Amino acid sequence: MRYATALLSRWSRREWLSIAVVAVTTAFLLGAALLLLTAATYTGTLSSDLSSSATVSYEQSYDDAVATASADEVVIAVTTVSLPDSETRRVVGIPPDAPRTISGASVAWRAATLPRPPSDGVSGPVSTVQQVEFVGPDNAVSTTVSPHRVEETLFPDSWYVADTDTVQQLGASGALVFDTGSSGAPSAPTSVPLIAALPFLAGGITQVVRTLSVAAFAGGLLILVVVYNVTKMSIRDRTRLIGVARATGASPWRILAILLGRVLSLTFVGVALGYALGVVVTNGVVNAATYAGLPVSLQTTVTPDIARSLLGISAFLLVMGLLAGVLAALPVVRGDPRFDQTHRATGRWPQPIRRFQAVASPTLVDWRAFTPTAATLAVFMLIILLTGSIGGALAPLATTSSGTVVESGAAHPLNSRIDESYATVLRSYGITASPEVIYAQTRGRTPYLVRGANYTAFSSVTDASLVAGTAPQRADQAVIGTDLARTLGLEVGETVTLGGSVTPGVRRVTIVGAFTGSGVTNDQLVVPLETTQPLATGPGTVHLIRTKNASSRLASLQNRSSGLLVTSLSGPSEVQTNATYRFGATVRNLGSSTATETVTVSVGNRTLERDVTLGSDESTRLSFETRFETAGTYELATDGVTRSVTVYRPNTLQLPSEYPTRAPPGSTLVVPATTPNESVVSGVTVTLDGRRATTNDRGGVPIRVPDEPGTYTLRLSKDGYVAEEHTLTVERGAPQRLGGRLTVSPSTGSRLTNPTVTARVANPWGRFLVRNLTLVSPGGTQTRTVELTAGNVSEIELSASEVGLGDDPPPGTYDLRLVVNGTVISTATYRVTGDERVAATLSSRGEYTEGTGIGRAIENVFGNVQLLFVVLVSLAGLSTIGGTTATFAQAVHANRRVIGIYRATGASRRRVLALLAADAVRLAIPAAVLSFGLAAALLWALARVDVLVVFGIRLAVPFTPLLVGVSALGAVCLAVCSAVIAATPFVRFDVGRLLHR
Amino acid sequence: MTGPVLRGDSLTVERGDSTILADVSITVEPDTSLLIQGPSGAGKTTLFNVLGLLSTPTSGSLYVHGDDTSALPERKRAVLRRDAIGFVFQDFQLIPDLTAWDNAALPQDHTRSRDEAWLDTLFDALDILDLKDQYPATLSGGEKQRVAIARALANRPDVVFADEPTGQLDPETAERVLDLLFRVKDQTDTALVVISHDPTLSDQFEETHVLIDGSLRRKSDERIPQ
């Protein structure tokens, strides 16, 4: 075999190990890159109908803006005026030659329309034409203001639209410059896309890729360390071969070239394997996630663009491997040829230093292992710190005290449309809720998050607190997180231009306050809902409702994923003691599949249970029976539905509650004698002012009212019954009205409840009456004529839809009135509760999740983001273990003869391993300190140059004692484990082999 | 102590297809001196490693104080190397980062208790007391050899193996080293096994064996009576 072949070939186990480490590192980097780049492509295809290159920027000087405008730019004068009511408003001046629409900024659902001023005067947010005096910066102008045309334009309705001349007369305070983007010229650093969603995603991905390059650098460092160490070992094993080759005249450069060939082929195999592994593993994870039914919307396909990026990373790693080879090989090709490893002499140090050396210096490895150890541990620290900072940034997304409600079945919170008023529903249940709009925004090239929210609500569901200024009072005011203010270079008092999110538009908001909060909370601009809705979700709709402290309530409901809900309880409202009380519970299955559940109804301090199985959207009525022993008022309750029952002793006489208390002299009343549950009692003695009568077998008896006005007592009595006494005022002119009772059953319901309304009218008088009966309900007014003979009762039952309560009434209180000939004789109230059970329904179909919308967004884009995170972090961990193992293997290999001597002179394997572990600790402690410093300094530097800002979110390294402790301990453990792994083969070898190899 | 210190029985070492040691049997009695001669490539170092428990033979048994070592775990083999056997390696095998004194004390360090008085005696006997704080790099070949001898005797072994102890030394130094070995052997009642290709050595040893092509033959018949 020629010596060159001998130098190139013979790959031992450690070469294959290093190939594995290089492969894993490459796979980790390429896998992460592939995912992120695919996500970028994905958002590109997703938003193809949002693509727009049109931007808008605000210029301080209108004249300058006109002077410098290019052909494809439209300059619109802007000014602020005071109105007579001392309000300030914006006025835009549309030039006469302005295009109707900004080309390239229109989307299918909205044209990017520029408003046109009316031919005479200006248009504004008014309902009638009026004369208004505008006080501008330069002049006051009195003009005719007519209502805006009915059209959606790029500007908010609150702005006045005039022609350029009017604005210039008032004094233009600035200009909005629309760039249609057709020229392709670079836009101004503060220009804002008219539709920001796509630039937001694209810009964010660019930042992610930039951050990824930090990871690539770290991976490159690892590969450098591993390849260097392995090459060093291979060269050491061939010292004699190389020495003899050089002694016999081989050119050093030829030997270097041969050694680099060896390194290159090793690295190449590793990188190639890693490339395949990265692509395959990533696809595998995505496929597995899809197979497992996770909502993965990614298709990892290697397009030419992605392939270019991946090849770039691979090439970088290959170069790092080559560099390692040069570093490892240079010493043996420079200087005199050597045949054996040389040992430097240890100098003589003063006694105290030698004593310190004895403790601090390693026994079996030497300090040359320090640099690669520190480098590898720096990568390890970098990973820990980056993970910590990402965790810190995302911490608010994963809190258990907050949650998010989005639209049923929405694939992404951005696709969700949910009624803003749901927040009111949640609040009525004591849950803190904030309806919010996710508003993508880009300023220059920097994407950042705008949140459409009422700041008070926003701060109630987050930990945001104002540190400067005030909360927004008006639609054109905003508050900014302090981190974002730093990222964008904005201060309180500045006015920023916002583009639309998914609908083209322009808004100007003034930052009136700054707040701080943890993690991403601090990286947002909070703009009032009404400003963001028209350009993101539409009026009255939001993407999501964030809740706080609702978890225990909603999560307990969420656990009941069956979707079975009791919608109402029905049964008599009164019952005798010890009588059987029968009532029903109506159950509906709102879930998407058949479900079985036990319905539990609490009655007083007892509970009744019934199992029920229902298919999707089926409903049934369950019957329950119970008995009450003592009189009183009891509450039936299940699942947020309640009903009260009055329990009375059986032998009680009672007049209806609506029985007349006034009567004209000489009239006749029909007295109905009943028990409280309205069963008639015959043989009851009725007395009134000395008159006496006995009820017939239908429980009634007419009795004549005294002729003298005054106050009398109507008394009903019977042996064995509790008597009833009723005060009757006899007065002239007292009306002979019908008695009426209006009941809504149940009196409280949810949006899913269909209440029944019962109007009961009774004629308590001893004569035939014809009356007009009117029911006033949310459904309108219904009138009918009733004819009732003496003592007769009529009941009219109306369904929920007949009284306007049938069609999902919004939460609130509804009044119903029963009117007879213009006089209200009975009222009833029906309350629709903002519904915990609505939220339960949402949750049963998976719309409620813990965490926040952005967390969901990440989850939806990446499927199971935690799984990928774990995979990536483990791969990174494996790489660092590989790196430190290679380092220690090299160090041990260099001193294998010393280990041989130790073992030859009787040191046990355990002692050798213990010595090595102690050495690892000695090396790792200073290396950990150094590497922590290096990693922290690197992250600090990266943060300074804004590399660690992704989607406007600033990643801050949380230097908590815990993190520092974990990383330090982790580093030392890593070093010790690696040392033991690396040393194991050397303590297994024959001692003779160690000494004489 | 009765019985042989060390007894090898049919020791065979094979590497791939070649046989390095073939059926070697040898007995080392207490307090004797034994020379194993042989030309280069005869398997001397392999025999040295096998007898010193540095390598495991392919087959055959090695008895130390009558106990079969072939079934011993590495932990117990290490204890035997520490307490019963001392080595003087061909290339001294001193640890460059340790002083002469610390190098010699290494076997004692494995038990974590140093017998400094004994080391002092050894250094005195070997006449290297003034070199105790020097590092191997500053020692001459003969000095290194003496440090190596001190280390071999540090734990008062029953047998000392010396592999080509004179191989790298000039004849004068070699003779002095050999004398030292014998003097120390006599002082410490240690058996001495020397492996060497040097044919001039045999007259000083009580027994001489010749290793040729992996086979060991006793040379007692050729022994020159004193």
DSSP string, B113-170: ---HHHHHHHHHHTT-GGGTT--GGGS-HHHHHHHHHHHHTTT--SEEEEESTTTTS-
* A445 and A423 both lie in a single domain: yes
Residue of chain A with shortest Cα separation from B102 = A358
Q: Does residue A79 or residue A752 have the better pLDDT?
A: A79
Contacts of A222 (CB under 8 A, 6+ apart): A21, A25, A376, A379, A879, A880, A882, A883
**Which residues, including other chains, have CB under 8 Å from residue A758's CB and lie 6 or more apart?**
A741, A742, A743, A744, A745, A795, A796, A797, A798
Domains in chain A: how many in total? 7
Select the residue of A344, A905, A996 nearest B106 (Cβ to Cβ).
A905
Nearest CA in chain A to B82: A906
Residue A696 has pLDDT above 90, yes or no: no
Distance CA A199, CA A498 (A): 13
Mutate which: A351, A909, A984, A996, vs B, most B CBs within 10 A:
A996
pLDDT at A861 over 70: no
CB-based contact A876:A354 (threshold 8 Å) = no
What's the mean pLDDT in A637-641? 72
- Neighboring chain B residues of A900 at a CB cutoff of 8 Å: 93
Any idea which residue has 């003097």 for tokens? Answer: B183
Q: What percent of chain B has pLDDT over 70?
A: 96
pLDDT at B119 over 60: yes
Query: In this structure, is residue B105 part of a structural domain?
Result: yes
Structure tokens at B136: 């191997």
- Give a yes or no: residue A507 inside a domain: yes
CA A330 to chain centroid, in Å, comes to 55
- Residue A215 placed within a domain: yes
Q: Return the residue in A343, A899, A991, A997 with the most chain B beta carbons within 10 A, the one to mutate for interface testing.
A: A991
Q: How far apart are CA A858 and CA A952, in angstroms?
A: 15
pLDDT band, very low/low/confident/very high, at A466 (cuts 50, 70, 90) = very high
Asked, for residue A656, whether it belongs to a domain, the answer is no
Quick one: DSSP state of residue A50?
A: G
Chain B: nearest CA to A861, how far in angstroms? 56
Helix axes A304-333, A197-237, angle to 10 degrees: 30
Which residues of chain A approach chain B closer than 8 Å at the C-beta? 343-346, 348, 361, 366, 897-898, 900-911, 990-993, 995-996
Q: Where are the beta strands (DSSP E) in A590-660?
A: 595-603, 606-614, 619-627, 632-638, 641-648
A802 pLDDT above the threshold of 90: no
List the single residue in B46, B81, B83 with the smallest CB-CB distance to A904. B81
Does any domain span residue A63? Answer: no
* Cα–Cα distances in angstroms (integers) from residue A663 to residues A484, A711, A772, A902, in the given order: 76, 10, 20, 120
CATH number, position A682: 2.60.40
pLDDT of amino acid A481 = 92
Closest by Cα among A45, A368, A40 to A207: A40
Both A431 and A493 in one domain: the answer is yes
Residue B40 pLDDT: 78
Other Cβ atoms within 10 Å of A929 Cβ, number: 14
| DSSP 3-state of A101 | strand
What CATH number has the domain bearing residue B142? 3.40.50.300
Cis amide bond preceding A746, omega within 30: yes
What is the mean pLDDT of the segment spanning B193-216?
84
Residues contacting A920, CB < 8 A, separation 6+: A365, A888, A972, A975, A976, A978, A979, A980
* Range from A63-77, A628-642, B210-224 that averages highest in pLDDT: A63-77
> Residues of B at the A interface (Cβ-Cβ below 8 Å)?
45-46, 49, 52-56, 74-75, 78-83, 85, 87, 89, 93-97, 106-107, 110, 133, 135, 137-138, 151, 154-155
Note whether residue A62 is domain-resident. no
* A477, A599: one domain: no
DSSP output for chain B: --S-SEEEEEEEEEETTEEEEEEEEEEE-TT-EEEEE--TTSSHHHHHHHHTTSS--SEEEEEETTEE-TT--HHHHHHHHHHTEEEE-TT----TTS-HHHHHHHHHHTTT---HHHHHHHHHHTT-GGGTT--GGGS-HHHHHHHHHHHHTTT--SEEEEESTTTTS-HHHHHHHHHHHHHHHHHHT-EEEEEES-GGGGGG-SEEEEEETTEEEE-GGGPPP-
B110, closest residue in chain A (CA to CA)? A907
The residue among A630, A706, A636, A634 whose CA lies nearest residue A666 is A706
User: Is residue B219 very low, low, confident or very high in pLDDT (cuts 50, 70, 90)?
Assistant: confident
- Mind listing the pLDDT tens digit for each residue in A121-158? 899 888 888 888 898 888 888 888 988 887 788 898 88
Indicate if the pLDDT at residue A261 is higher than 80: yes
* pLDDT band with cut points at 50, 70 and 90 for residue A840: very low
Please indicate whether, in this complex, the C-beta atoms of A906 and B87 are within 8 angstroms of each other.
no
Which of these three, A836, A866, A882, is where a domain ends?
A836
Q: What is the pLDDT of residue B226?
A: 39
Q: What is the pLDDT of residue A347?
A: 45
Residues A632 and A528 in one domain: no
> How far apart are the C-alpha atoms of A903 and A899, rounded to whole Å?
6
Closest residue, chain B, to A366 (C-alpha): B97
By three-state DSSP, how is residue A665 classified?
coil
Q: Are residue A893 and residue A801 in the same domain, yes or no?
A: no
- Which of B56, B75, B87 lies at the smallest CB-CB distance from A990? B56
pLDDT score of A969 more than 90: no
Q: Which of A348, A361, A905, A984 to mutate to test the interface with B (most CBs of B within 10 A)?
A: A905
Hey, which residues does A700 pair with through a beta bridge?
A672
| Predicted pLDDT at A903 | 85
Q: Would the pLDDT of A345 be above 50?
A: no
Whether residues B49 and A992 touch (CB distance < 8 A) is answered with: yes
Interface test with A, best of B46, B93, B102, B163 (most A CBs within 10 A): B93
**Phi, psi (rounded to 5 degrees) for A678:** 65, 30
From the list A891, A890, A971, the residue with the least C-alpha distance to A367 is A891
CATH of the domain at A824: 2.60.40.10
Which residues in chain A are contacts of B55 at CB distance < 8 A? 990-993
Question: Between B166 and B194, where is the model more confident?
Answer: B194
**Which of A286-295, A564-573, A756-765, A825-834 is most confident?**
A756-765
Is residue B1 domain-resident?
no
In a domain, A186, yes or no: no
**Predicted confidence (pLDDT) at residue A867 exceeds the cutoff of 60:** no
* Calpha distance B28→B209 (Å, rounded): 12
Nearest Cα neighbor of A148 from A115, A120, A106 is A115
Chain A interface disruption, residue of B20, B99, B108, B110, most A CBs within 10 A: B110
What is the pLDDT of chain B when averaged over all its residues? Answer: 84
Most confident listed range (A426-440, A550-564, B144-158): B144-158
Residue A335 corresponds to which tokens in the numbers above?
């200087």
Mean pLDDT for chain A overall: 78
pLDDT (0 to 100) of residue B223:
45
Q: Establish if A943 belongs to a structural domain.
A: yes
Structural domain span for residue A503 = 402-555+846-850
Q: Express each pLDDT in A28-60 by its tens digit.
A: 778 777 776 666 555 555 455 566 778 888 888
User: How deeply is A603 buried, as exposed, middle or buried, from its count of CB atoms within 10 A (0-12, 13-18, 19+)?
Assistant: buried
Within 10 angstroms of residue A89's Cβ, the number of other Cβ atoms is 17
Q: How many structural domains does chain B have?
A: 1
Task: Give residue A392's pLDDT.
Answer: 63
The answer to whether B145 and B153 have CB atoms below 8 angstroms apart is: no
CB contacts, 8 Å: A990 with chain B: 49, 54-56
When pLDDT is cut at 50, 70 and 90, the band that residue B48 belongs to is confident
Residue B206: inside a domain, yes or no?
yes
pLDDT single digits (tens) A283-338:
776 676 556 554 444 556 667 777 887 888 888 888 988 998 888 888 877 766 66
**In terms of CA atoms, which chain A residue is nearest residue B90?**
A996
Task: Choose among B143, B68, B41, B39: nearest CA to B99.
Answer: B143
End-to-end distance of chain A based on CA atoms, in angstroms?
20
Among A820-824, A839-843, B5-9, the range scoring the smallest mean pLDDT is A839-843
Percent of chain A residues past pLDDT 70, beyond the cut: 78
Domain endpoint, select from A730, A748, A780:
A730
* pLDDT cut 90: percent of chain A above it: 6
Which residue on chain B is closest to A897 by alpha carbon?
A: B93
Of A378-392, A757-771, B111-125, the poorest mean pLDDT is in A378-392
Number of A–B residue contacts, CB under 8 Å: 86
> Among A137-146, A554-563, A806-815, whose mean pLDDT is lowest?
A554-563
Residue whose pair of structure tokens reads 């790298």 in the numeric block = B168
**HEC secondary structure over A168-189:** HHHCCCEEEEEECCCCCCCCCC
pLDDT for res A455: 92
Q: How far is B78 from chain A (nearest CA, A)?
A: 4
Say which of A906, A990, A996 has its CB closest to residue B107: A906
Band the pLDDT of A886: cuts 50, 70, 90. confident
Strands A748-749 and A823-832: parallel
Whether residue A567 sits in one domain with residue A540 = no
Query: From B52, which residue of chain A is nearest by alpha-carbon distance?
Result: A904
Q: Using CA atoms, how far apart are residues A523 and A513, in angstroms rounded to an integer? A: 14
CA B198 to chain CA mean position, Å? 16
CA dihedral A261, A263, A265, A266 (to 10 degrees): 160
Q: What is the mean pLDDT of residues A422-432?
A: 66
CB within 8 Å: A906 and B81: yes
Contacts of B117 (CB under 8 A, 6+ apart): none
Q: Is pLDDT above 70 for A549?
A: no
Q: Which of A217-226, A828-837, B127-136 has the lowest mean pLDDT?
A: A828-837
**In residues, how long is chain B?**
226
pLDDT of residue A702 exceeding 90: no
Same domain as A873, residue A984 = yes
Residues of B in contact with A906 (CB under 8 A): 78-83, 85, 107, 110, 155
Residues A864 and A787 in one domain: no
What's the order of all strands across the beta sheet hosting B207-212? B85-88, B159-163, B191-196, B33-37, B207-212, B215-218
Q: Is A771 within a domain?
A: yes
Query: What is residue A485's three-state secondary structure?
Result: helix
A909: distance to nearest CA of chain B, Å? 7
The most confident of A561-565, A647-651, A957-961, by mean pLDDT: A647-651
pLDDT score of A342 more than 50 = no
Domain containing B123 equals: 6-222
Chain B environment of A348 (Cβ under 8 Å): 133, 135
Residues 6+ apart with CB under 8 A from B96: A343, A344, A345, A346, B135, B136, B137
Task: Examine the pLDDT at A838 and tell me if it is beyond 80.
Answer: no
Chain B residues touching residue A996 (CB < 8 angstroms): 45, 49
d(CA A416, CA A437): 10
Q: Which residue of A has its CA nearest to B86?
A: A905
Over the stretch A454-463, which tens digit does the pLDDT of each residue have?
Answer: 998 888 888 8
A909-944 vs B74-83: helix axis angle to the nearest 10? 110
Query: How many residues appear in chain A?
Result: 997
CA distance B111 to chain A (A): 8
Place of tokens 């100098």: A347
Residue A865 has pLDDT above 50, yes or no: no
Residues on chain A touching B78 (C-beta within 8 angstroms): 903, 906-909, 911
Residue that wins the pLDDT comparison between A589 and A74: A74
